[in-house]
Amino acid sequence: MMEKDFLVDKKYLNIPICAQKEERLLKIFLLDRENGTQEKMTEVMVPVDEEQDGKYTADFCAQIPVEAYRGKEIRVSLEEAPDIFSESVCLSDEREEAADTHPVIHFAADSGWTNDPNGMIYDNGVYHLYFQYNPFGIQWNNMSWGHAVSRDLLHWEQVDSVMFPDENGTIYSGCAIKNERGLLDLPEDALLFFYTAAGGNDEWSKGQQFTQKIAYSLDGGMTLRKIKEPCVPVIYRDSRDPKVYWHEESGAYIMALWLRGNDFGILRSENLKDWELMEEFTLKDGWECPDIFELTSDQGEKCWFFWSADGFYYEGQFDGRDFKTDGEKKWAYLTGVPYAAQTFSGVEGRVISIPWLRLKNDGRNYTGAYGIPVELSCKRTDDGFIIVQKPVRELWEQAERITDKVQPDENHTIFYQQEEKKKAVLIRMNVEENLLDDLRWKINGSWIEYSPEVGSFTVDRDAFQAKAWRHELLFVIDDRILEVFFDNGEQMGTFELRDPEISLEMPLDHVKEYDIFEID
C-alpha cells in the first residue's frame, strides 16, 4: 500500500489519472499529529497504470481543492500502487489547463466524466452550473459536484469542485436556492444547495440508504459546507434528486423528489428543516431528476408542468400541495441525447433550462457536455399545452452574421470550412411550405436529411420523428454537437456528428431565406 503525507501549502492535491486502466481505492485523510488521529476526508476509485516504468505518464490530473487545510497535514493512501504513481501525487497552485478540444458555447469539463446538471442558480451577475462529476476518470463513478461559472450562459469557466464522496455516500443530483428568508441560522445572502447523499453506493457508506441533505455557501457559491443531519431522511431506498423552490401562493417551500419506479413526491416545508410528504403520484414512463414549473404562452396563458429526466413532461395544475394531471406524457426532444435538464433559480422573468448531453467518448479526456441554454414557454395546441424551447437571447446577442461572406456557388450550394480559430455556427433557414421533396445537407461529415411530408429527420441513417411540414429550421453546430430547433422551438432535437471540425455543404434548393452566424 502507498502512503504519502503532505503539509498543505498549496491550493490543490493532484492525483494522476490514466483513463480506463484498472481502478484502485484511494483514500485521503486529515492528520492530527498531536492526538495521533486521522480523519477520512474522501475515498474514491482511481484508474492506475501498473505497467509503466520510469516517469509516470498520466492522461490528466484530478485536482482536489485543499486550500481550506493550509498549514495542516493530509495523507494519501492507495492500494497496490506502483512507486512511480506515488511520485506523481503532488500539491500545486495552478489549475491544469484543458486541451483545446472543447465545444465553443456548450460547456464540457476540462477532463473527467460529467452527467446531470445540478444546483443551477443565478446570483450577483453570475450563472452557476454545478454538475455530477467524476474527476478521477472518463467513466461514471465517484459522483461528486463539479462547478462552472458564466456571465453570458454561453462561455463557461470550470472552477474548483465543491463536494466529494463522504461517509454518507457519493454526492448525487440536487438544486440551489437563495436563502432569501434567512433560514437555517444563515444570512440571507447565503446560497443553499439540496442534494442526495447516495448511501450504500460505495464501500465507505455500505449499508446506508439515500437521504436528502443541505450544503450552504457564504462566498457566492465558490465553496460549500455540508450540514450534517439530513433534511429528508430515508423515504424509499433510492429516493433522490430534490428540486426546491419557494411557492409564493401557498407560502412555503416545495420539493419535487423522485421516489421509486415511476413514482414522484411533493414535499412541503416552511423552515427548510422539516419536510412533509404531501402526495405521491405515478407518471407513465417518468423517471428521476424531477422539475416542476409554471410557464406562460405568447397569449398570456399559464400552465404548470412536471418534468422528468428523459424530457418527458406532464401538463397539470399545482396549488403548492397537489399536482393534478391527466398523466398524458409529452416529449421535449427527438432523441435520447439530452437528459436530466434542470431550470435555473434566481432568474427573474425567464425560465431557463440546460440538459446534460449523453455524448460518447471519442478519445478525448472528457465525457459528456451540456446543451445550449433554452428559454421555456408554452403554447396551446389541439393536444393541450406543449413546451416551447428557444435558445436564450444571449445567443443572438453574440452571433456575428456572415451570410455575405458565404455565397452559394453555381449549383446553389453553400460551402463553409472552419477556420483556424474554433467557432460555433448557427444556420437559420425558412424552407418552402407544403414541400414534397426531401432536403439533404452535409454537416461535419454527417449526412442530414429532412422529409417535410412525413416529418422524418435523419442523421447518418438514424431516423427520428419530427412533426410534418415544419418549415422554420435553426441549426446550432458546435464541435460534434448539432441542435435543431423546428418552427421557433416547438420541437427540438440534439444529435452527434461524425467530425468535430465544422464543415458545411448545404444545397439551398427549396430554401426561401437563410442566415449564417458565427460565435467564438
CA distance 21 to 78: 15
Q: Nearest Cα to 157, choosing from 127, 133, 132?
A: 127
Look up cell 463553409; give the residue: 416
Nearest to 456 by CA among 483, 493, 431: 493
C-alpha cell at position 9: 501549502
Distance CA 38, CA 78 (A): 16
Backbone phi, then psi, for 87, in 5-degree steps?
-65, -25
Tell me the C-alpha to C-alpha distance, in Å, between residue 19 and each of 54, 136, 327, 369, 515: 19, 8, 43, 18, 42
User: Exactly one of 49, 110, 116, 291 is catalytic; which is it?
Assistant: 116
Compute the distance between CA of residue 17 and CA of residue 24 in angstroms, rounded to an integer: 11
Residues in the chain: 520
Q: Which of 18, 14, 15 lies closest to 137 in space, CA to CA?
A: 18
Contact 401, 395 (CB under 8 A): no
For residue 257, give the amino acid letter: L
CA distances from 195 to 272, 303, 404, 506 (A): 13, 27, 49, 46
- Short-list 82, 25, 24, CA closest to 50: 82
Nearest to 424 by CA among 448, 404, 400: 400
- C-alpha to C-alpha distance for 315 and 323, rounded to whole angstroms: 9
Distance CA 425, CA 487 (A): 19
Q: Please report, as a single letter, which amino acid is at residue 97.
A: E
List CB contacts of 230: < 8 A, sequence separation 6 or more.
197, 211, 212, 213
In the annotation, is 116 catalytic? yes
DSSP-derived secondary structure for 198-239: ETTSSSTTTT--EEEEEEEESSTTSS-EE-SS-SB--SSTT-
Catalytic residue annotation: 116
